[in-house]
Each structure stands twice: as structure tokens, then as C-alpha cells.
Structure 1
């Protein structure tokens, strides 16, 4: 029975009908497999795009805003030191509270979504540098106010 069974299989694939059946099965399997692979790859790409949209794009925008605001506080301090006008000191404090602090907080939130530890370390060092810079500006103000009392 085995020899007749194997001859039936070989006869099935040697005939046009058998070949068409085999081709149809391969075609149907390809019709199922190719969209499945495309779907699988597109979900992988979707995850990468979401990571870029949620983390990759906001980081440069926020760091650009942070640099701009740091330039503003530096300019306000220079103006305060040159003119001794308290409005510039108050302006600088407002910028720290209302513009730099929210950007810093947003960067901290994004830091939690990062997958690269080297970038997390950079975010931490930026946070330390911001605190140090703000403290240094406050110390310069105190020194300036002491000098101003002596000489003015």
C-alpha cells in the first residue's frame, strides 16, 4: 500500500492538476504570511515612531527653550549689575520660576521615558548645572548688594 501511496503522491505532483494544487497552496500561504510579516514589522516601526514623537522630538525643542531662557536670565543679571535696577533682578527671578522651572520639570518627565542610560546621566548633570547656576546668580546678587551698600 505504501508503494501505491507514494506513486499516487508522485503522480499528483507530476500532473498539471497536482502542480496547480501545490502552486495554489504556496500562493495562499504567501498571501497569509506576507501581510502577517508586514503587520509585525509595522508595529515595530510604530513603537519606534512613538518613542521619537514622545521623547525624541520634545528634547531638542525643550533644550532650545532652556538655552534661550538661560540667555535671558544672564542678560537680566547683566542689566541688574550695570544699572542696579531691581526690575531686572525681579525679571530674572520670574524667568527662573515661570519659564525655566517648567522646562526643567518637562525634561525630568522625559528622562523617565528614556531607554539610554548615557542620556539619563546627561539629564542629571544638566539638572545639577542648572541648580548650581541659579545659586551662583543668587550669590552674585548678594555680593553686588553688599558692594552697592558700601560704595553707593
Structure 2
């Protein structure tokens, strides 16, 4: 099947399928004589696995770890459980962080009259330097990055590929 059919079968956009190939989550697709990508049953199964992992909020590097475990018949379920438990802990931390942010914003909102006056405690609160009451965000973006080293010493996020010509 072509990439459009694979996209429909897996519920993953063609753009994301090409991205997953680029970062090494799926192997390079076979090509037909015209140069178009061709996908088979095992490719669709792998895409379903990736989609399921993404639905649970796993990052690309976590999915790479899970795919490696999935493909290893000698894997230990303890290793899979460890990845899942680490992900749960990260999700719970993000939930706690979001609750703190919501609580702070609710306090600012309660202090705002919401009338015709230009004075606004919400805007004043946003311009204030960090009071040290809450811990600053450790990161921006949705997931922490994990870098895989390559033999040449350079690293690249997720795929373990580097920019060196080999």
C-alpha cells in the first residue's frame, strides 16, 4: 500500500509517517519503480504500535525504547514496566506542575475586579519576577530530550544518527 493508504490504516498522517522514518522509529520504506513508498503488513503493525504509544503520551525516544523491547524476543517484562513507570512518574509530575500553575492563575483571577477599570492584577502578576514561591519550569516543550551517542562522538536526538558522513 502507498503512504496515503498506510496513513488511513494507521490513523497517522503521511507527514508523521515520513517523520518517523526520518528519526528511525520505522525503517525506510520499500520503494516502487516510480519511487513511491510502499508499506506492508509489518509496517502497518509497527505504525499501530507507535500510534498506541503516542496515545498514551510516550515521547519519540520512549517509543524508540519500547520498539526495541517489542522487537526483542528475549526482553524482560520488567524492562517494559520500568519504561512505563518512568512515564507515569513524568506524567504525574506534569499534572502537579499544571495544578500549581492553575492555582496561581486562579488566585490572580480572583483578585481581578473584571470591571471597566484598566487596573488588572492578572497583568501585574504576569509581569512580576519569580517570587521563588514555585519552582521554575525545568523545561519547555512537551517532552524532555534524550540524546543517543554515536561512534564518532556526535549525537542526535532519538534516532542515534549523527551528521558525520559514513
Query: Normalised by the size of structure 1, how large is the TM-score?
Result: 0.33
More helix by percentage:
1
- Greater C-alpha radius of gyration: 1
Query: Normalised by the size of structure 2, how large is the TM-score?
Result: 0.30
More strand by percentage:
2
